[in-house]
Structure 1
Amino acid sequence: MGAPHQNRTGPVGVALVGTGVISGAYLENLTRFPDINVVALTDLLPEVAAAKAEEFGIDLSGAPELAFEHPDVEIIINLTIPAAHLEVSSRALAAGKHVWTEKPLAMNSVDASTLVDAAAAAGLRLGCAPDTVLGAGIQTARRVIERGDIGVPQTGLTLFQTPGPESWHPAPEFLFQPGAGPLFDMGPYYLTTLVEVFGPAAGVLALSRKARATRVIGSGPKAGTEFEVGVPTHVGLQTDFVEGGASQSIFSFESPRVRAGFVEVTGTEATLSIPDPNNFDGELRICRTGEDEWKSIPLVGPSDGRGMGVLDMARSIRAGAPHRATGERARHVTELMEAAIRSADKKAYVPLTSTAPRSELLPDGWDPVAATL
């Protein structure tokens, strides 16, 4: 894959665009990965970027233009709100930078395809969260499935049910607008896991509802503020997959009882309980046909947290090899979520047109804190 920066050596320079809540989780890891050099932090509010830069010991901060124009920046990490993902990622690609973006890749599959096509035309990398599928939890689960421990995978079941984030998030409004809601905010973790297990989705049948027209912020400086809800806050979907198998999923901000992180895959010989796909580790358990008890399976591999996808991209750039959390996979998951909303509106099955291969498993011994470049 040809691209600018392809002849460089040493740690890969990155810059963040957007220094909100999630940026801290990225920076905790990126600043300790030897193969990553965090060059700059940027935000539409430069003072916010400056505060975050001081917290993590980053020398440069400022407005987003700094990230797009700095010659040492090879990867732009787009941590803006979903509605800005297309614009920011497009600007980064136009500036000759590789892009890693938080999920979703874009607000819809058309915009997602625009980004995928632009990156391909420029010979640049496009990657997208979630990178939790690179953690030991899901990597070990995939190894268990792929070596045949559960037989042939048949069905999947996922649950994400909470009261909603407005009680704890200081600025939750964007999480209830197009590009978010329980499906677009949390769906990528669960649906990406299912795509990694079953392969590309063929189509979806869904139902949805919005129980309340408004919500009230429960914490922070805007506590007590009422805001409008612009998306369904409960979505149930059934997905079938090109290679066989089917899954049922619920994504809800309507449940007083929290039931999250639930992923089970049942095969012809056993059921596998997979760790929370919003995390990088957890408990992996198997219950075989004819047995009553779950048995734990030790996890193998790193669980260093958010930023592993950026690191995999950085090392892949230097090696001239494909990275794992691709824009193509994110586009496929975006289309799946978009199709679920259309299905719920039409009360009909909606087929998908895109596809995406499973990512290659991380090699044994892959170590995020090793200096390899």
Structure 2
Amino acid sequence: MGKVKTGIIGCGMISEIYIKNISSTFQNLEVIAVADIDLDRAKMRAAEFNIPKAYTPEELLADNDIEMVINLTIPTAHAPICLQALEAGKHVFVEKPLAVTREDGLKVLETAKSKGLYVGSAPDTFLGGGLQTCRKLIDDGWIGEPIGATAFMMGSGPESFHPNPDFFYVEGGGPMFDMGPYYLTALINLIGPITRVTGSARATYPERTIMAGPRAGETVPVEIPTHIAGVFEFANGAVGSIITSFDVWGSQLPRIEIYGTTGTLIVPDPNTFGGPIFVKRQGESEWSSVPFTHSFTENSRGIGAADMATAIRTGEANRASGELAYHVLDVMHAFLDAAETGKHIEISSGCERPAALPMNQASQFMR
């Protein structure tokens, strides 16, 4: 079918694993150019991976050889870069979240639809071996009908390791928008779309101190909630609860658990591609460890872009789709809306539950 020629905009920390995986594993993609607002950084990344072209973002978007743009910029730049790429006639795969606002997210989807182009978005961890194994267990009836779920992302904030954590503490950041996409995308993949939410939120500290890199000791003002607790309902009737926090110094809560009519499934960290996975079924006294049914259990970031490349060539739907990402964006905003208004928020968006990957999925990402 031929490789989809790709350009990457944003040469920061996350770009390394994308380029590494595309060059070594996802052979239906070819990175032919990288770009950054800091051209020297783009040149360094291009030299590191023998990529032929290092551009400014504008130059990359003007390159007619590029079919797909992978947008790895900061959240506030996600929608503007996606829209520019779509206007230039290029398919787009963007890091999470799809956009900062619902309005911008819808604009991205509408522009892509009007031009007949694909949009995809991280997180794509739900396509890894760990979460696809969990999907198979649920689809095969191992825990019966899902009736409930819990999800907990508890940490003390990215300023402990990130040299420039400012964007985590402005609109589009915080634990819900930074880490919530992993948890909500995993849950929607496992159970289905979400129809109603409520929640409470707070910002515990007015500023954060950077602990890593050349800016260590500087403080960053906090402009968004940093501890969000929510309750939500799935279209199938299951009820979930979630906490995302940058205000917690330690926790032993599980990442995700799914409760069914005949058993419970312990789901691995949705920010990873592997395990471990445990199940306890009705009548059993002990938990059982479950081996992987699917591959891609190591850090396989870029698998969503590779799946989209296959969809571009075959005309099928991509799994880490713009519609899924917009539904997640809508739900995340709804938690904050509920906290502000003290009400339940009905979710107006929806999405198809992504198709499960076949057990031999590796073949579809090879040329």
TM-score, shorter chain, exceeding 0.5: yes
Q: Aligned residues, how many? A: 364
Does residue 299 (structure 1) correspond to residue 292 (structure 2)? The answer is yes
- Counterpart of 1:80? 73
Q: Distance in 2 between matches of 1:363 and 1:66?
A: 38
Q: Is the 8 A contact 1:160 1:259 kept in 2?
A: no
Deviation at 1:138, TM superposition (A): 0.8
Cα offsets for 1:99-120 (capped at 9, x unmatched): 0000100112121111111101
Structure 1's 260 and 324: CA in aligned 2 closer, same or farther, altered over 3 A?
A: farther
Cα offsets for 1:144-193 (capped at 9, x unmatched): 00111101100001111011110111111101111110000000000011
- Counterpart of 1:199? 192
- Counterpart of 1:315? 310
Q: Percent identity?
A: 39
Choose which of 323, 326, 329 in structure 2 pairs with 1:331: 326
- Counterpart of 2:82? 89
Deviation at 1:258, TM superposition (A): 4.9
Structure 1 SS opposite 2:362:
coil
Structure 1 SS opposite 2:255:
strand
Q: In structure 2, give the amino acid aligned to 1:59.
A: P
Q: Distance in 1 between matches of 2:52 and 2:253?
A: 38
Normalised by the length of structure 1, the TM-score is: 0.95
Deviation at 1:254, TM superposition (A): 0.5
Q: Distance in 1 between matches of 2:159 and 2:102?
A: 27
- Counterpart of 2:16? 24
Q: Distance in 2 between matches of 1:259 and 1:309?
A: 30
Deviation at 1:289, TM superposition (A): 2.4
Deviation at 1:195, TM superposition (A): 1.1
Normalised by the length of structure 2, the TM-score is: 0.97
Q: Is the 8 A contact 1:163 1:258 kept in 2?
A: no
Cα offsets for 1:53-108 (capped at 9, x unmatched): 11122121120122211122111001111111111000000000000000100112
Q: Distance in 1 between matches of 2:283 and 2:171?
A: 45
Does residue 172 (structure 1) correspond to residue 171 (structure 2)? The answer is no
- Counterpart of 2:335? 340
Structure 1's 11 and 259: CA in aligned 2 closer, same or farther, altered over 3 A?
A: farther
Structure 2 SS opposite 1:277:
coil
Does residue 371 (structure 1) correspond to residue 357 (structure 2)? The answer is no
Choose 123-132 or 254-263, whichever is displaced more.
Answer: 254-263
Q: Distance in 2 between matches of 1:89 and 1:71?
A: 16
Runs of 4+ aligned structure 1 residues displaced above 3 Å come to: 258-261, 368-371
Q: Distance in 1 between matches of 2:103 and 2:365?
A: 38
Q: In structure 1, give the amino acid aligned to 2:231.
A: Q
Q: Distance in 2 between matches of 1:66 and 1:73?
A: 11
Q: Distance in 2 between matches of 1:369 and 1:259?
A: 38
Does residue 235 (structure 1) correspond to residue 251 (structure 2)? The answer is no
Deviation at 1:197, TM superposition (A): 1.9
- Counterpart of 2:181? 188
Structure 1's 37 and 142: CA in aligned 2 closer, same or farther, altered over 3 A?
A: same
- Map 1:1-373 onto structure 2 (within 5 A): 9-32=1-24, 33-258=26-251, 262-303=255-296, 305-367=300-362, 371-372=366-367
Deviation at 1:284, TM superposition (A): 1.0
Q: In structure 2, give the amino acid aligned to 1:354.
A: S
Deviation at 1:302, TM superposition (A): 2.2
Cα offsets for 1:188-230 (capped at 9, x unmatched): 0000111112211111110111011101100101000011011
